[in-house]
Structure 1
């Protein structure tokens, strides 16, 4: 068995990990790129998941040779989010794990590439659950986050905003995207990856632990209170 190190704090990514947003994100980019005779596949999306909103627009425009300023593309993405994001649901096992950790006094946070506006839309139906997270760091809106994932910035800023400012080694990250796993590793944090089943196994190798669902997580592996406690 791998030697997992005990942790005291937990940091969650949001898109595709807590919230079921991959489908809506893909639909938005497919709709916009169709205007330019292009398409967006799941594989295209996985390459940018974790970036800030502007970094994502820049990369999509580059990959697809879209003849438009990335900031304009970003604005078009944001406009479509208003109709799609309020309906987003939770990923399997997310609420159970979050409430369990909060119940036992484990500090929990969110570190996401989202903007504040996007976050508010996505969490429309989950406001009560979101109140359990402190801090919430959104790299597309936060001036202290200089670069999106795979840079470690968002996780380091997040750790620094816990009241007791834990060392990185005491923080456990939950991620679904390869860029997020790289960011956690760069921040010196262990990472539990819950990848989309279409993710190539070679893209999961940097994770500390890989699971099919948050339902499969055993908190005691990392020194956290077990579910039967």
Structure 2
């Protein structure tokens, strides 16, 4: 293996749990509740399914710009107190020390991802940051992962991905990449179709121990 590709939202930083709480809160303002299956369609990709659900429940066109401003304000307030997920920094540092090439593949835009990479002093660890600004199709389409592979100069067989959502996992697997899922509180109850290994947290195993586990599975 030569490279590791990390999803960003929900994997490196748990932005998903605050989003879920905010989406539920906004849905309640419109007199409805947010079903888990609707939320699951949004995680790791776009908000289209959520807005379609709201309009269907209300029975009329809604001012999406107004809702967007409200959710952004609420989310920014939440994110002021968010930290990296447990074990993330240790994995990134261990991977870099071991000589692996590192990349991010995120359905969010570059401004969003780079802001937090700078905040947590992680920007210099990543050779490639592939975001929605750089592709036509975001996850679950594999385009982001294929772009990351191309820019890293490695094949899918030479890489591993970390994901927290079903949509992200589908994207990584569709690109042919070995994928480890690390669900967060907002995605833990969602259904993951296909993956190679599951961690509750990156604190569960060191990176070296995880690689040994994956190697053992392959040799069985």
TM-score range, shorter chain: 0.7 to 0.9
Structure 1 residues not aligned, in runs of 5+: 1-6, 224-229
Query: Contact conserved, 2:14 with 2:184, CA < 8 A, in 1?
Result: no
2:218 corresponding residue in structure 1: none
Counterparts of 2:66 and 2:137 in 1: how far apart (Å)? Answer: 20
Deviation, structure 1 residue 92 = 1.3
1:82 corresponding residue in structure 2: 76
Kindly tell me the number of residue pairs found equivalent between the two proteins.
206
Q: Secondary structure, in 3 states, of the residue corresponding to 2:80?
A: helix
Counterparts of 2:116 and 2:34 in 1: how far apart (Å)? Answer: 21
| Match of residue 208, structure 1, among 196, 206, 212 | 196
Q: Secondary structure, in 3 states, of the residue corresponding to 2:104?
A: strand
Counterparts of 1:62 and 1:109 in 2: how far apart (Å)? Answer: 33
Deviation, structure 1 residue 135 = 0.7
1:31 corresponding residue in structure 2: 25
- Structure number having the greater helix percentage: 2
Q: Secondary structure, in 3 states, of the residue corresponding to 2:179?
A: strand
Counterparts of 1:160 and 1:28 in 2: how far apart (Å)? Answer: 36
Residues 33 and 152 of structure 1: CA distance in aligned 2, closer, same or farther (over 3 Å) = same
> Are 2:108 and 1:114 aligned?
yes
Q: Secondary structure, in 3 states, of the residue corresponding to 1:62?
A: helix
Counterparts of 1:19 and 1:211 in 2: how far apart (Å)? Answer: 15
Deviation string, structure 1 residues 120-175 (Cα, Å, up to 9, x no partner):
4544641x123211211122xx1x3111211101111111112xx11122111101
Normalization by structure 2: what TM-score? 0.81
Deviation, structure 1 residue 86 = 3.2
Normalization by structure 1: what TM-score? 0.78
| Match of residue 179, structure 1, among 159, 167, 187 | 167
In the TM superposition, 1:1-229 aligns within 5 A as 7-40=1-34, 44-51=38-45, 55-56=46-47, 58-64=48-54, 65=56, 67-68=61-62, 70=64, 73-123=67-117, 125-126=119-120, 128-139=121-132, 142=133, 144-162=134-152, 165-196=153-184, 199-200=188-189, 203-215=191-203, 216=205, 217=207, 218-221=210-213
Deviation, structure 1 residue 46 = 2.8
Structure 2 residues not aligned, in runs of 5+: 216-220
